[in-house]
Structure 1
Amino acid sequence: MTEPKSMERQKGVALWRQIADRIRASIAQGDYDATGMVPPEMQLAEAFGVNRHTVRSALAALGQEGLVRSVQGRGTLIDRKDKFSFPIARRTRFTEGIGEQARNVEGLLLSSGCEPADAEVAKWLKLAVGAPVIRLEALRKADGRALSRSTTWFPAGRFDGIDAAFRRTGSITMALMEQGVSDYLRDVTQVSATHAEPDDVAQLALTPGAIVLVTRALNTDLDGIPIQYAVTRFPADRVEFTIMN
């Protein structure tokens, strides 16, 4: 079993959250695979230089995420669940990519509206700032597990009604087909990681401080014209990315 390394405290981040991040990373790296257990609370407290209450708070948060569970008389067991592998390729499709790994894939429209494009959206979609765009807020699930929440923008002049199409189909690909786009390509994908925001906690059933993977992606039609810009947030403990050529 790998011993936790001493920790440099981060200003503005709760100590229990920092410890939860370190334990989560150790689990992901396989540091505890030999025993399948997180080290005892006292051992973690000594290693991190904190009291047991702080360690207990970190473990409780990880328990709410489903990463660990406390077993009376044994300690804290790692509760592994297989991650979904989300392929990022020239043709990236959520339903197809996840559908091969799940019995049921859902796309739920949380809200939608028409709004003027801000500078970021306008830049990605190559529109004038203030041009009308359709915004969709969506939640995706696989076998009942929330896998992503996304905010997606489409040029309003070309895709009026795409919100209703997505509500009916639960699929961006099928909604685009209803709008006359039978095929499209992934032009850019940017990936980063951050802590969960309040909306992530509520909609993805995460604990405060959980890690989410964030993608910013642009899709174009076959003529290279931008049709969709999306910012999507994935729970890091449920989804991993596979980059495909």
Structure 2
Amino acid sequence: MTRRTPIWKAIATSLRSDIIEGTYSQGDKLPTEAVLAQRFGVNRHTVRQALGALAEDGIVHARRGAGVFVTTTPTDYPIGRRVRFHQNLTAAGRAPAKKVLLLESRVAHASEAEALELESGAQVHVYEGLSLTENQPVALFRSLFPAARFPEMLTQLRTDPSVTAGLARFGVADYTRASTRVNAKLATATQALHLRITENAPILRTISVNVDLDGRPVELGRTWFAGDKVTLTLSDP
């Protein structure tokens, strides 16, 4: 027997779509509970559940006596040969920041060694963190670097969380994206906690390999974007 989606979840999804498509922008006031109840043919309690879910995900916030307002709208995030987190969000008029979650060294998994063109058993440096804009988390990321080539990368990242600055520190003046794969996922409990979204909410995962000017891999990156907070776009080289 097919399970039906709760009406309040369907309403929340519909309102998310309105925000993503630009019907309501950041700072806009949503229609009142009474208007939304009439629109969707439900009672105000059901609408309140939907708005509560959006508020829990950080998409809207209620002002006592004033109504419910859109907190944030998706940020365009270009995917092209040159992808720089700080530059992308600054260009979009957003204030970027990073929070470091993990810095460690370990043996590369087989798929990681293959992507970075390393021998089996080679060490990699792992950098995991949270990308934020306007103090709102938009993505989780994991970057891996060849440890033999960049032996002091973790020390550098503890001082400055910028990957671009870290690679430049070790002689990589420029790098480009050689490949990118994108697929849709559902947020795990821990991902949802970091991204301030509900468990099983839609997220977009990218897997990319960055190379230096000689075509040698310098970084293998995985990023999990909150689907409601970022719009991935294809950019020119």
Alignment TM-score, normalising by the size of structure 1? 0.77
> Are the counterparts in 1 of residues 24 and 70 from structure 2 also a CA contact under 8 Å?
no
Cα-to-partner distance string for 1:23-49 (whole Å, 9 max, x where unaligned): 42354346789x943864586476xxx
Aligned partner letter, 1:203: H
Q: Does 1:66 align with 2:58?
A: yes
Q: Give the whole-Å Cα distance in 2 for the aligned partners of 1:16 and 1:167.
A: 44
Judge which range, 201-210 or 160-169, deviates more. 201-210
Cα-to-partner distance string for 1:95-127 (whole Å, 9 max, x where unaligned): 111123346432232111111111221232122
Q: Does 1:100 align with 2:91?
A: yes
Matches within 5 A, 1:1-245: 9=3, 20-29=12-21, 36-37=30-31, 40-41=36-37, 44=40, 56-69=48-61, 77=68, 79=70, 81-102=72-93, 104-245=95-236
Judge which range, 201-210 or 167-176, deviates more. 201-210
Aligned partner letter, 2:234: I
SS in 1 for 2:149: helix
Gaps of 5+ in 2: none
Q: Mark the CA change 1:223 to 1:26 in structure 2 (over 3 Å): closer, same or farther.
A: same
Aligned partner letter, 1:66: G
Q: Mark the CA change 1:14 to 1:225 in structure 2 (over 3 Å): closer, same or farther.
A: farther
> Are the counterparts in 2 of residues 149 and 204 from structure 1 also a CA contact under 8 Å?
yes
Q: Mark the CA change 1:159 to 1:64 in structure 2 (over 3 Å): closer, same or farther.
A: same
Q: CA deviation at 1:69?
A: 4.6
Q: Mark the CA change 1:71 to 1:104 in structure 2 (over 3 Å): closer, same or farther.
A: closer
Q: CA deviation at 1:77?
A: 4.6
Aligned partner letter, 2:188: E
Q: Give the whole-Å Cα distance in 2 for the aligned partners of 1:170 and 1:24.
A: 32
Q: CA deviation at 1:18?
A: 6.2
Cα-to-partner distance string for 1:126-176 (whole Å, 9 max, x where unaligned): 223432111111122223222222111111111112122122122100000
Cα-to-partner distance string for 1:183-221 (whole Å, 9 max, x where unaligned): 111111112222222222222222333322211111011
Q: CA deviation at 1:93?
A: 0.9
Aligned partner letter, 1:208: E
Alignment TM-score, normalising by the size of structure 2? 0.79
Q: Mark the CA change 1:163 to 1:102 in structure 2 (over 3 Å): closer, same or farther.
A: farther
Q: Give the whole-Å Cα distance in 2 for the aligned partners of 1:18 and 1:117.
A: 42
Aligned partner letter, 1:61: A
Q: Mark the CA change 1:103 to 1:86 in structure 2 (over 3 Å): closer, same or farther.
A: closer
Q: Give the whole-Å Cα distance in 1 for the aligned partners of 2:41 and 2:204.
A: 28
Equivalent residue pairs, number: 230
Two-structure CA RMSD over aligned residues (Å) = 3.2
Gaps of 5+ in 1: 1-7
Q: Give the whole-Å Cα distance in 2 for the aligned partners of 1:15 and 1:59.
A: 12
